[in-house]
Amino acid sequence: MQTQTLERMESDVRTYSRSFPVVFTKAQNARLTDESGREYIDFLAGAGTLNYGHNNPHLKQALVDYLASDGIVHGLDFWTAAKRDYLETLEEVILKPRGLDYKVHFPGPTGTNAVEAAIRLARVAKGRHNIVTFTNGFHGVTMGALATTGNRKFREATGGVPTVGAAFMPYDGYLGDATDTLDYFEKLLGDKSGGLDVPAAVIVETVQGEGGINVSGLEWLKRLEGLCRANDILLIVDDIQAGCGRTGKFFSFEHAGVTPDIVTNSKSLSGFGLPFAHVLMRPELDKWKPGQYNGTFRGFNLAFATAAAAMRKYWSDDTFERDVQRKARIVEERFAKIAAWLTEEKGIPASERGRGLMRGIDVGQGDIADKITAKAFENGLVIETSGQDGEVVKCLCPLTIPDEDLIEGLDILETSAKQALS
Ligand SMILES: *Cc1c(COP(=O)(O)O)cnc(C)c1O
């Protein structure tokens, strides 16, 4: 495989090609193929962007049909038939059955753009600047979103320009199982000299993806919602990674029965890996003036077509979500087995955690996790790590992965852990 041009010309900022230094050519569902014809099982799936697999045939057909009909591809934020169909499908298939009523803002097509728009809207709506975010949260790397992102690696890359406007609270579990971290937030909210500027909003991931598959308790989320309501603070759920079925429900907050004021989705929203994001907001929060938050790529019509097709295909009844839950149990069981082996045979304290098909094995140290994932890649499995030190081996396989590939991927991971640490 010829990689000289790639190595010479692409900026050092590249990341994933360092872990998987081959040239990929094709992909189908949960399998990637490189230029030499070798196949890999994909447990990374675009970091949660390919919930419905690579080149999903139903969605590809919708895309090809749309292109063949000379449908509008780019139209700024023109009204198009594709946009109308997307909104109607979102309302009928997703929002109404869940008793949700939201207006929809199409910012630029990336996750960080949706977060920027969401926190700015919250500030405009409440007339306050502060946004409460949580330890280990990841919300993107543009300046506004970066202020709410915990990881120092990203925060240090601003050339010294301070990231402002956010205050960090401890996420659920941050201080150990015995402490409810919301006691601290509640105390600060009620303390006039606690130092916390009354926030416009709280932004939270129900399961922290980049932060290490940290799962917030359903009671904790419910309590967070209550604290927000009681103190006139907006609740923003950043569902960019945990949404679109990853945790076993379309929205990850459904498990807790909370109703956010604002929701961000991106990653798997188009269904096909096309760049696409939206912000959902309670109708009365729509304080934007026309064009006040703009962008050239607002609502990508090809993504409207594939996203609507994905909602119709996978979310019209509960067959798909039940299947995700079933596969999640397979991963959970195997991860628990691998974690037990690491702990008992190797003396490496390890544990598994997750919700739905957003799961990880915490092996405590980044270098151990790296050894396992590097060996897994040698053995034909693409899998990444997350967490502050990269100490969590995480599975984000396509939700549509065939059982054979899921089992084969898990077999490879188990064997690789044993080989890497023997
Ligand atoms: C990936 C991610 C983002 C940022 O999305 P980009 O498209 O990379 O800008 C924001 N929030 C969460 C929870 C994410 O996982």
Does residue 329 share a domain with residue 398? yes
User: CATH number of the domain that 278 lies in?
Assistant: 3.40.640.10
Do 133 and 183 fall within a single domain? yes
Q: How far is the CA of 111 from the centre of ligand 1 (A)?
A: 4
139 touches ligand 1 (CB under 6 Å): yes
Domain of 258 in residue numbering reads as: 59-316
Q: Atom 5 in ligand 1: which residue has the minimum CA distance? A: 111
pTM: 0.98
Cβ neighbours of residue 357 closer than 8 Å, sequence gap 6 or more: 246, 247, 248, 324, 327, 328, 331, 395, 396, 397, 399
- Residue corresponding to tokens 């044993």: 418
User: Residue 288: what pLDDT?
Assistant: 96
Q: Do 235 and 359 belong to one domain?
A: no
Among 285, 316, 347, identify where a domain stops: 316
Best of 133, 143, 241, 251 for a ligand 1 pocket test (most atoms within 8 Å of beta carbon): 241
Direct distance between the N- and C-terminal alpha carbons of the chain, in angstroms, rounded to an integer:
30
Q: What's the token pair of residue 322?
A: 């039940």
| 245 and 342 housed in the same domain | no
Residue ranges in the chain modelled with pLDDT below 50? none
Quickly list DSSP for 230-297. HTT-EEEEE-TTTTTTTTSSSSGGGGGT---SEEEE-GGGGSSS----EEEE-GGG--PPTTSS--S-
